[in-house]
Structures are given as structure tokens and as C-alpha cells.
Amino acid sequence: MRLKISKSKNTILFYIIKDYTRNGKRSTKIVKRIGNLEEVKTMAGKMDYKEWLKKYVQDFNEKNGLNEVVLIKKNTRKTITKDINNSFNVGYLFLEKIYNELKIEAICKNIQNTYQFHFDLNEILSYLIYARIIYPSSKLETFKQCQNFIKPPHFKLHDEYRALSYIAANMDYIQENLFNNSKQVINRNSRVIYYDCTNYFFEIDEEDDIRKYGINKQHQPKPQVGMGLFMDGDGLPLSCNIYPGNMNEQKTLIPEENKIVNNFKLDNTKIILCTDAGLASDEIKKFNIEDNRGFVITQSLKKLKDCYKEQIFDPSDWRITDDLKNIYNLETIGNDENLREKYYETLFYKIIETETKSVKQDLIVTFSFKYFDYNRGIRNNQIERAKKSIENNQVTRKGKNQNDYRRFIDTLNSTDNGEIAENTTYSINQDVIEEEEKYDGYYALTTNLIGDIKEILKIVKGRWEIEESFRIMKSDFLARPVNLSREDRIKAHFLICFISLFIYRILEKKLDYKYTTSQILNTLRNMKVLESKGDGYIPEYTRTDLTDDLHELFGFRTDYELNTYKDFKKIFSLIK
């Protein structure tokens, strides 16, 4: 803070002012009015008033240095300035720190140097990622919402759309370098890789080159695109791919697996692929036993041959992982209340040798009484809903969801004489219920691995992470609706969702998985500060254990009662 002298026609006024910089623009604010010339001379007494002023400012700075207490004056009858935003999000700064640790700016600069365009690709990509996590919305709305960040971007809307084309054209290059750079930030466990697919429908009726009619996981009769996602053994994304909506997802796995093995330079002889039953083709299994690789793939029990089902439903010859000597009978345990309680959470298993056309494999089946009760409870609730729908005459089945409670409703059309005709009656189909009940408590997988059964089961347990990743992109990052029509821009949109997911997952890992997705995202989205012009920023959010952990992990704080402009200037420098 320094002395300012204001001269007018009738007097000279003395103030203490401070300089501050806001978004690259320097300005000043009056901190204290000292007085006019006559008042200063009176206060100085016998001392030269100039020397007194110099000492007064020096003493004021010493007294109000690091722990400056600022009195903010507001007029109760003065309206705020129109069209000026004073509230800014600072939660994205933690994401920016991770973004910069991944050296994505260098990736963008290489792309920019190759194509020689003039807009700042790094700025555009970074803010599209922050906004996807903090303000998930359309690209137009994203452009507007980015102005609510404490350090707003400077790119133009038309440049944002142009950037999408270059992002899509370099999709593989970006993912390859992102993986390589991430190894300097976190440990990557690429011995186990998970793969799964989902799809995203569009609110259109006409197909084009990539948006095609196909089997939709949300049972929507709309053109769609498919997304394949690879994840490493620690639940961190590896890569994604976008393919036409009518393409069989089984056809995507081998080309994409080859791509990441070659581009990411993974050790091809140690990879274990884990995926679900929808990707359990003979071709995929055959590919994943070459060069001593392995696979762990879930198996639909209902689709097994009867000879295997007979062995599975035989209550004898079951084992548990912590007792390799003894053999257990599920029927004996299930009929004894004390034994059932004792082994309620125990995971039983049996191994059955099977083979496909080209691959010899083990079928590992597990059973749990706890899982049995869970399955039975879910179904009983669905049966009750089915009964109520019959009572209320609301039995029309919508779509083909295998979990729709209406699958238990049997329909019969007849006349009063018993002939097939127009009268309709409904009843609960007991045969369907009994067929489904056979599989309660059971879970199955196939593998070519030989070794510790615990390790194999641990691998398949990790599949929930990839399902969670799809849920985050769809529900939390609002990956759809997609208000884009060009194929390159659609691919860029989903790559942005993928990178956003990756950065978010790293943040989760840094926080040691102590908090839920909703806790983390709600905290980041609500971390806002209110600007007091010339003074700095006042936190508007609630300080919690999570905000304390974020500040501790990333080495800066935004939760002082007043954060000065200089404080944030240091933060911006720190996170680069």
C-alpha cells in the first residue's frame, strides 16, 4: 500500500491506496483517507508533514501486513452494477492442477504447431473439461458458464467449435500421450485391463454415417453411437473409442486392444482382459490367450449347456477360498438355520472344465446365501408391483428390459366359451418365477488363468468401476443429450467426457476414495467466492473436511475470510 496525493483547486487530499490486478488489468482502491493538507499538518505537529506522511504509511503497512483486517463498506441504498458478475467458481482450480500435471498443454501445443491454427487449443480444451465437470451443458452454454470461473477464458465461441475438429482428428494421439504423461503423476496398473461398451442415443430420426439405429441399452428407438471404454486395474481410464450405433460391440474389442497395446507400449505377454458376457465370443477369447495373455470374462448361467447347469445346481462339491481341504454341501447348510447364519456371507465356489470352439477354459461358479437373499428380495418386490399393476389394469409392457416387473404377467385372451377371442385376463406367471429362482445366489465367469482363486475373483470384482465410470459420464457429466451433428465434433465431445472422467478419477484417488462422487462434485460446484472490488474474494461456500483435504493435498487455500488478489495470483502460479 502506498500514499496517493489528490490535488484539487481548493485543497490537497492524502490517501493510502493499494494496487491490485484483476484478470491482467491493474487498478487501485482507496484503503484509508488520511486527511487534507491542513489536517495532516495538524497531526504532524512540529514534524515536517511530508516526513510524517512517509512514517504514517510505513507504520500502517507494518501494522496491516500479512494479517490485514479489511473493513468493507457497502451502501444500503445503492444498487449493484447491472450485468456484472461478482460470484466465481474456484473449485475447478483443483482440476486445473491435475490437468497441468498431465502436461496436456504440451500435447495441445504440438497439435497447434502441426496445423498452424491461431486460436489457443489448450485454453479451449481445458475449459471444456472443467465445465464438463463443474457446469455440464451444451457447448454454447459451456461458453457462457466458463465466464463464471475466477479466471475466465478469452477464446471465442466459433473457435470452440473449430477446436472440436482438431481434437477429434488427434483422438489417438491425445490418448496415447495422456497415458504416457499420467505415469509421471500416478502409478498405472495395466496388467489387468477392463473393457465394456455403452451407447448414447440422439434426439433425431434420420441416420447418418455414425448415428445409427441399433440395440440401445436404454431401450430408446433412436439413432445412437457406441462407446467402448478401457480401464486399468486400479479403475483409472485407459482409452475410449466411438463407433457407429449399429455396430456389434464384439467387433470393437480386438482392434482397440491391439491399438492400446501398440500405442501405449504395454507388455503384451502379461495382460489379463476382464469384460462381461456380451463380449465373450470365441474369437475374443482366442485372441486373449495368445502370447500367454489371459482373460476373465463373466458368463451367463442361463446360456450354458444343460450338462454344465446340472453340475452347477448339484449342491455337493463346493469349496471356499479360505479352506481348501473341506468340501461343502449347499443343501445341508441351507437347511440348517445355524449353519446358514454361520456361512451367510461366505463365498462358495466350484470349478468346471469347459471349452469353446477354440479355447479350453475353466468355468468358475460362485454362490452366496447373502446374494441369494438379495436376488430373491429384488424379485419379490417386482412380483408385488406386477400384482398391483394387474389390480390397476396397467399391464402394458414398455420396451424389452429384462428387469421389467411386467415379465411376470401372463396374458390370456378368450371368449366366455373358452375360445380365443377378445376378453383379456391377466395372472402371475409362476413358471417364469420358478425358472428365474434357479439362478438366485449364483455368479459365473470363465477364465484361462491357473492360480489363486482369490486373485481371479478379485479381478472380476473390479468390473464395477467401469460401470460406475459410465454412470458418472451419463448422469453426472451429462454426456447426453449431444447437441452436435458432425461426426468429428461428436467424437471430440466424447473424448472431452473421457478426459474429464480421467481427471476426476485421479482426484478421487488423491482423496484416497474417502468421499462419494456426489460429495466431491457438489463441493467443487459450490466452491464459489464473492468479489469485493479492490479487496479480494470472500468464500461463499461451507468449509468441510473435504474442502480441508482438497486444500491440504493441492497446497493452496481459498477459504480465508478474505482472499486477496495477490493470494490468487500465487495460486494461479502454483497450479501451472
Distance CA 568, CA 558 (A): 8
Grid coordinates belonging to 154: 478469452
- Residue with the bigger pLDDT between 341 and 268: it is 341
Query: Which pLDDT score, from 0 to 100, does residue 419 have?
Result: 59
Distance CA 243, CA 224 (A): 9
pLDDT digits (tens, 9 = 90+) for 183-240: 999 999 999 999 999 999 999 999 999 999 998 887 889 999 999 999 999 999 999 9
Least confident of 401-405, 496-500, 509-513: 401-405
**How much is the CA Rg of the chain, to the nearest whole Å?**
32
DSSP 273: E
Task: Tell me if 457 sits within 8 A of 347, measured CB to CB.
Answer: yes
pLDDT digits (tens, 9 = 90+) for 15-32: 888 777 776 677 787 878
| pLDDT higher than threshold 70 for residue 319 | yes
Q: In the predicted model, what is the mean pLDDT of residues 161-166?
A: 96
pTM of the prediction? 0.84
pLDDT digits (tens, 9 = 90+) for 46-95: 888 888 988 888 888 877 755 566 667 777 788 888 888 899 999 999 99
Least confident of 304-313, 366-375, 418-427: 418-427
Between helix 121-134 and helix 517-526 the angle, nearest 10°, is 120
Distance CA 374, CA 439 (A): 12
pLDDT digits (tens, 9 = 90+) for 101-127: 999 999 999 999 999 999 999 999 999
DSSP string, 280-332: --HHHHHHTTGGG-EEEEE--GGGS-HHHHHHHS-SSSEEETTEEEEEE-HHH
- Residue with the bigger pLDDT between 413 and 44: it is 44
| pLDDT higher than threshold 70 for residue 138 | yes
| pLDDT higher than threshold 70 for residue 99 | yes
pLDDT digits (tens, 9 = 90+) for 485-495: 999 999 999 99
pLDDT digits (tens, 9 = 90+) for 495-504: 999 999 999 9
Distance CA 396, CA 173 (A): 49
